[in-house]
């Protein structure tokens, strides 16, 4: 058994947590913003501005509450280099990231605002099945996370407001993969890694209201170093190999990037607002993954896996049109380039340049209560990549249709 083989077990588990959390960010923290291509830094549509731009919170008049849930069920297709092999697809599984916010100005027309956001910036699953050709790299992964963000915002004057929030993130990841060993019945071995991570960061923003028709926003979400302490690695192998694969713990740190976003929003007619964001992600810090196993053997040693990511610049645009006092419709689109290196893309951490289209509507049931719905479609072109640590290559394509529903209430 090559000791390098088991390195990839941990690498796969932890890289998956990172990839779902970062470059491919589940940018699903607000219904209106999701419907407008994920843009929303320049215009504080509602209390979800706690996530998009804390500086906009002080622009709200009074206290609001928001809740939204999203249905994420992506499909990833793999086409091997060897044309004699059939393609593989992940099995469909529904994940439901959510966002809850509450906050606003402490008094009518007040300058100081407080709020709290609880949201899931990453969370999904992928199941390739137990017998597919890449089972020795991954069979399945399940990922969950929750971020908590208490926030304070202050309107300095009619032109400028600022805000900042402390971020605490907690999450978990579980992955299964086959091992190339068999018992007397021909059953392959299996590795299961289960870890919990946590980290801290901050979210800060500035909102500029140049006029009633023109607004700007600048926000920065700091990088979060999600630390895995005491993750559990267990193995199902023949008894003769048990000493090579002991149940043990591992530690690691996942460097999630800082995100800098510049946005503009313009009310081009009394009913139509257009907005757009430029989103810079500092992915270059994600150059490798390191693992420290508590118990080492010839098949289980500490490791360092290269990733060699690059920084990216994404574009998101959207429009909001008020049909009448009660109804509004939104549309948008986005282009998110991948930061991943084509030499180090594993089948549980697939990524490529992503193109998104989205739409939504809102209905004011009463003056204080609104119901919102949105849908987002994301796809990639086929991308030929390789995972060099396992000498595994092929073409991947991702498709995802995400419906969402939410409500806002003004107290």
Neighbours of 238 (CB within 10 A): 14
Rg of the chain, C-alpha, whole Å:
23
Tokens read off for 205: 């923003």
Residue 66 confidence (pLDDT): 97
As a whole number of angstroms, the distance between CA 368 and CA 108 comes to 15
Tokens read off for 36: 């407008």
Neighbours of 323 (CB within 10 A): 10
Residue 284 confidence (pLDDT): 87
End-to-end CA distance of the chain: 64
Residue 24 — pLDDT band, cuts 50, 70, 90? very low
CB contact burial 164-187 (16+ within 10 A = b; e otherwise): bbebebebbbbbbbbbebeeeeee
Tokens read off for 140: 């399945």
Q: Is the pLDDT of residue 13 over 60?
A: no
pLDDT in tens, 166-180: 999 998 888 899 988
Average confidence score pLDDT of the chain: 88
As a whole number of angstroms, the distance between CA 18 and CA 50 comes to 23
Tokens read off for 100: 């809850």
Residue 124 confidence (pLDDT): 65
Is the Cα dihedral 251, 254, 255, 259 positive or negative?
A: negative
Within 8 A by CB and 6+ apart from 302, the residues are 290, 291, 292, 293, 296
CB contact burial 251-282 (16+ within 10 A = b; e otherwise): bbbbbbbbbbbebbbbbeeeeebbbbbebbbb
Within 8 A by CB and 6+ apart from 110, the residues are none
Residue 22 confidence (pLDDT): 37
Q: Is the pLDDT of residue 78 over 50?
A: yes
As a whole number of angstroms, the distance between CA 4 and CA 137 comes to 12
Q: Is the pLDDT of residue 26 over 70?
A: no
CB contact burial 64-99 (16+ within 10 A = b; e otherwise): bbbbbbbebbbebbbbbeeeeeeebebeeeebebbb
Q: Is the pLDDT of residue 36 over 90?
A: yes
Q: Is the pLDDT of residue 17 over 70?
A: no
Mean of pLDDT values over 308-327: 95
pLDDT in tens, 104-161: 998 888 999 999 999 987 666 788 988 899 999 889 888 788 999 999 999 999 999 9
* Beta carbons of 372 and 407 less than 8 angstroms apart: yes
As a whole number of angstroms, the distance between CA 31 and CA 70 comes to 9
Q: Is the pLDDT of residue 255 over 90?
A: no
Q: Mean pLDDT lowest for which of 84-88, 198-202, 367-371?
A: 84-88
Phi first, then psi: give them for residue 170, nearest 5 degrees.
-135, 145
pTM: 0.88
Q: Where are the beta strands (DSSP E) in 212-326?
A: 214-221, 225-236, 248-255, 259-267, 272-281, 288-293, 303-306, 312-322
Domain count, the chain: 1
Q: Is the pLDDT of residue 307 over 90?
A: no
| CA quadruple 73, 77, 78, 84: dihedral, nearest 10 | 140
Residue 45 — pLDDT band, cuts 50, 70, 90? very high
How much of the chain exceeds pLDDT 90, in percent?
Answer: 57
Q: Mean pLDDT lowest for which of 114-118, 220-224, 259-263?
A: 220-224
Residue 4 confidence (pLDDT): 42
Residue 19 confidence (pLDDT): 37
Q: What is the CATH number of the domain that holds 109?
A: 2.40.160.60
Would you mind telling me the total number of residues written for the chain in this entry?
Answer: 411
Domain containing 121 equals 3-410
């Amino acid at each position: 058994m090559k000791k390098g083989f088991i390195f990839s077990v941990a690498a796969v588990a932890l890289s998956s947590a990172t990839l779902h959390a970062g470059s491919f960010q589940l940018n699903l923290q607000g219904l209106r913003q999701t419907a407008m291509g994920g843009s929303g830094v320049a215009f504080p549509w509602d209390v979800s501005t706690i996530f998009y731009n804390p500086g906009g919170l002080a622009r709200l008049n009074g206290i609001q509450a928001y809740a939204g849930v999203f249905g994420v069920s992506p499909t990833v297709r793999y086409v091997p280099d060897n044309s004699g092999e059939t393609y593989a697809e992940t099995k469909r599984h529904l994940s439901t990231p959510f966002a809850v916010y509450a906050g606003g100005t402490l008094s009518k027309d007040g300058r100081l605002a407080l709020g709290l956001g609880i949201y899931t910036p990453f969370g999904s699953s992928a199941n390739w099945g137990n017998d597919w050709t890449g089972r020795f790299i991954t069979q399945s992964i399940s990922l969950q996370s929750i971020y908590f963000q208490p926030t304070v915002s202050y309107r300095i004057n009619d032109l400028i407001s600022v805000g900042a929030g402390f971020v605490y993130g907690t999450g978990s990841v579980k992955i299964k993969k086959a091992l190339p060993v068999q018992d007397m019945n021909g059953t392959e071995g299996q590795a299961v890694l289960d870890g919990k991570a946590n980290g801290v960061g901050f979210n800060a923003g500035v909102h500029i209201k140049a006029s009633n028709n023109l607004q700007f926003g600048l926000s920065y979400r700091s990088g979060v170093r999600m630390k895995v302490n005491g993750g559990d690695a267990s193995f199902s192998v023949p008894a003769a190999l048990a000493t090579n694969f002991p149940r043990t713990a591992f530690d690691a740190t996942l460097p999630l990037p800082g995100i800098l976003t510049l946005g503009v929003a313009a009310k081009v007619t009394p009913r139509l607002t257009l907005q757009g964001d430029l989103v810079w992600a500092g992915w270059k810090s994600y150059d490798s993954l390191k693992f420290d196993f508590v118990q080492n053997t010839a098949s289980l040693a500490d490791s360092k896996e290269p990733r060699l990511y690059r920084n990216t610049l994404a574009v998101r645009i959207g429009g909001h049109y008020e049909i009448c006092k009660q109804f509004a419709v939104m549309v948008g689109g986005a282009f998110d380039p991948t930061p991943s290196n084509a030499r180090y893309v594993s089948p549980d951490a697939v990524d490529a340049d992503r193109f998104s289209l989205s739409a939504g509507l809102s209905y004011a049931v009463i003056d204080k209560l609104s119901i919102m719905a949105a849908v987002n479609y994301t796809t990639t072109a086929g991308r030929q990549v390789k995972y060099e640590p396992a000498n595994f290559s092929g073409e991947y394509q991702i498709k995802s249709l995400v419906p969402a529903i939410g409500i806002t209430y003004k107290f």
